[in-house]
Protein backbone atom coordinates (compact mmCIF):
# COMPACT_ATOMS: atom_id res chain seq x y z
CA UNK A 1 0.00 0.00 0.00
CA UNK A 2 2.83 2.38 0.83
CA UNK A 3 4.53 2.15 -2.55
CA UNK A 4 1.29 2.88 -4.47
CA UNK A 5 0.61 5.87 -2.21
CA UNK A 6 4.13 7.12 -2.83
CA UNK A 7 3.68 6.65 -6.59
CA UNK A 8 0.46 8.70 -6.57
CA UNK A 9 2.17 11.68 -4.90
CA UNK A 10 4.44 12.32 -7.89
CA UNK A 11 2.41 13.67 -10.80
CA UNK A 12 3.35 12.70 -14.32
CA UNK A 13 2.66 15.23 -17.06
CA UNK A 14 0.57 14.57 -20.14
CA UNK A 15 -0.56 16.92 -22.89
CA UNK A 16 -4.10 17.10 -24.18
CA UNK A 17 -5.86 18.79 -27.05
CA UNK A 18 -9.32 20.29 -26.79
CA UNK A 19 -10.54 20.19 -30.41
CA UNK A 20 -13.20 22.78 -31.23
CA UNK A 21 -15.03 24.34 -34.18
CA UNK A 22 -17.73 26.90 -34.71
CA UNK A 23 -21.19 25.35 -35.02
CA UNK A 24 -24.09 26.50 -37.23
CA UNK A 25 -25.01 29.39 -34.95
CA UNK A 26 -21.39 30.45 -34.36
CA UNK A 27 -21.46 28.66 -31.01
CA UNK A 28 -18.40 26.55 -30.42
CA UNK A 29 -18.62 22.78 -30.57
CA UNK A 30 -16.12 20.54 -28.81
CA UNK A 31 -14.92 17.12 -29.93
CA UNK A 32 -14.73 14.33 -27.38
CA UNK A 33 -13.34 10.83 -27.86
CA UNK A 34 -13.91 7.67 -25.87
CA UNK A 35 -11.16 6.12 -23.80
CA UNK A 36 -10.03 2.75 -25.11
CA UNK A 37 -10.78 0.56 -22.14
CA UNK A 38 -13.59 2.10 -20.11
CA UNK A 39 -15.25 3.93 -23.05
CA UNK A 40 -15.60 7.17 -21.04
CA UNK A 41 -15.82 10.49 -22.88
CA UNK A 42 -12.49 12.35 -22.69
CA UNK A 43 -10.27 14.62 -24.78
CA UNK A 44 -7.29 13.37 -26.80
CA UNK A 45 -4.28 13.25 -24.49
CA UNK A 46 -1.05 11.39 -23.96
CA UNK A 47 2.57 11.34 -22.93
CA UNK A 48 5.09 13.93 -24.14
CA UNK A 49 6.65 13.11 -27.50
CA UNK A 50 10.43 13.23 -27.67
CA UNK A 51 11.62 16.27 -29.60
CA UNK A 52 8.15 17.88 -29.71
CA UNK A 53 6.88 20.87 -27.76
CA UNK A 54 3.94 20.46 -25.38
CA UNK A 55 1.46 21.91 -27.88
CA UNK A 56 2.81 19.80 -30.76
CA UNK A 57 2.53 16.68 -28.58
CA UNK A 58 -1.11 17.60 -27.89
CA UNK A 59 -1.78 18.13 -31.60
CA UNK A 60 -0.23 14.74 -32.38
CA UNK A 61 -2.53 13.04 -29.84
CA UNK A 62 -5.55 14.73 -31.46
CA UNK A 63 -4.55 13.32 -34.82
CA UNK A 64 -3.81 9.81 -33.50
CA UNK A 65 -7.02 9.55 -31.44
CA UNK A 66 -9.50 11.53 -33.57
CA UNK A 67 -7.93 12.25 -36.96
CA UNK A 68 -8.24 16.01 -36.52
CA UNK A 69 -5.83 18.54 -37.94
CA UNK A 70 -5.85 22.23 -37.09
CA UNK A 71 -4.11 25.08 -35.36
CA UNK A 72 -3.13 24.50 -31.76
CA UNK A 73 -2.91 27.42 -29.34
CA UNK A 74 0.50 28.47 -28.09
CA UNK A 75 -0.75 28.62 -24.49
CA UNK A 76 -2.54 26.04 -22.41
CA UNK A 77 -6.12 26.80 -21.37
CA UNK A 78 -5.44 25.08 -18.04
CA UNK A 79 -4.93 21.61 -16.63
CA UNK A 80 -6.70 18.78 -14.84
CA UNK A 81 -5.51 15.72 -12.93
CA UNK A 82 -6.62 12.10 -13.06
CA UNK A 83 -5.47 8.66 -11.97
CA UNK A 84 -4.16 6.47 -14.79
CA UNK A 85 -3.76 2.73 -14.50
CA UNK A 86 -0.64 1.58 -16.34
CA UNK A 87 -0.33 -1.73 -18.20
CA UNK A 88 1.60 -3.21 -15.26
CA UNK A 89 -1.33 -2.45 -12.91
CA UNK A 90 0.30 0.49 -11.13
CA UNK A 91 -1.67 3.69 -10.80
CA UNK A 92 -0.06 7.08 -11.37
CA UNK A 93 -1.45 10.56 -10.90
CA UNK A 94 -1.31 12.50 -14.17
CA UNK A 95 -1.57 16.24 -14.69
CA UNK A 96 -2.84 17.03 -18.18
CA UNK A 97 -2.00 20.43 -19.68
CA UNK A 98 -4.75 21.22 -22.18
CA UNK A 99 -4.24 23.14 -25.44
CA UNK A 100 -7.17 24.39 -27.54
CA UNK A 101 -7.04 23.09 -31.12
CA UNK A 102 -9.18 24.82 -33.75
CA UNK A 103 -10.05 22.01 -36.15
CA UNK A 104 -9.59 22.69 -39.85
CA UNK A 105 -10.33 19.17 -41.05
CA UNK A 106 -10.72 15.55 -40.06
CA UNK A 107 -9.02 12.84 -42.09
CA UNK A 108 -10.86 9.74 -43.31
CA UNK A 109 -8.43 7.41 -41.55
CA UNK A 110 -6.28 7.78 -38.43
CA UNK A 111 -4.27 5.44 -36.20
CA UNK A 112 -6.87 4.79 -33.45
CA UNK A 113 -10.08 5.08 -35.50
CA UNK A 114 -11.16 1.51 -34.80
CA UNK A 115 -10.48 1.86 -31.06
CA UNK A 116 -12.48 5.01 -30.22
CA UNK A 117 -15.71 6.84 -30.85
CA UNK A 118 -15.62 10.51 -31.76
CA UNK A 119 -18.43 12.99 -31.14
CA UNK A 120 -19.00 16.74 -31.66
CA UNK A 121 -21.06 18.36 -28.90
CA UNK A 122 -21.98 21.84 -27.76
CA UNK A 123 -19.56 23.01 -25.08
CA UNK A 124 -22.33 22.81 -22.49
CA UNK A 125 -23.15 19.19 -23.35
CA UNK A 126 -19.48 18.22 -23.60
CA UNK A 127 -18.78 19.69 -20.15
CA UNK A 128 -21.57 17.51 -18.72
CA UNK A 129 -20.53 14.38 -20.63
CA UNK A 130 -16.97 14.21 -19.26
CA UNK A 131 -16.60 12.60 -15.82
CA UNK A 132 -13.91 14.98 -14.59
CA UNK A 133 -15.26 18.27 -13.12
CA UNK A 134 -11.94 20.08 -13.75
CA UNK A 135 -12.07 19.12 -17.43
CA UNK A 136 -15.70 20.23 -17.59
CA UNK A 137 -14.67 23.66 -16.29
CA UNK A 138 -11.89 23.90 -18.89
CA UNK A 139 -14.40 23.16 -21.67
CA UNK A 140 -16.74 25.89 -20.37
CA UNK A 141 -13.82 28.34 -20.08
CA UNK A 142 -12.74 27.66 -23.66
CA UNK A 143 -16.27 28.23 -24.94
CA UNK A 144 -16.37 31.64 -23.22
CA UNK A 145 -12.93 32.69 -24.46
CA UNK A 146 -13.15 31.80 -28.15
User: What's the chain look like in SS3?
Assistant: CHHHHHHHHCEEEEEEEEEEEECCCCCEEEEEEECCCCCCEECCEECCCCCCCHHHHHHHHHHHHHCEEEEECCCCCEEEEEEEECCCCCEEEEEEEEEEEEEEEECCCCCCHHHCCEEEEEHHHHHHHCCCHHHHHHHHHHHHHC
- The answer to whether the CB of 23 falls within 8 A of the CB of 144 is no
pTM for the model = 0.88
Which option is the CATH number for 2-145: 3.40.1010.10, 3.40.50.720, 3.40.50.20, 3.90.79.10? 3.90.79.10
The tens place of each residue's pLDDT in the chain, 146 residues long, gives: 444 444 455 789 999 999 999 866 678 899 999 998 889 999 999 999 899 999 999 999 999 999 999 999 999 999 999 998 888 888 999 999 999 999 999 999 999 999 999 999 999 999 999 999 999 999 999 888 77
Amino acid sequence: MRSSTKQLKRKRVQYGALPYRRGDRARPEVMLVTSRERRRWIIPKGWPKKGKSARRSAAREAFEEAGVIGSVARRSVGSFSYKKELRNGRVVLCKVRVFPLRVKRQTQEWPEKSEREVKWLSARKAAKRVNDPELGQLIKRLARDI
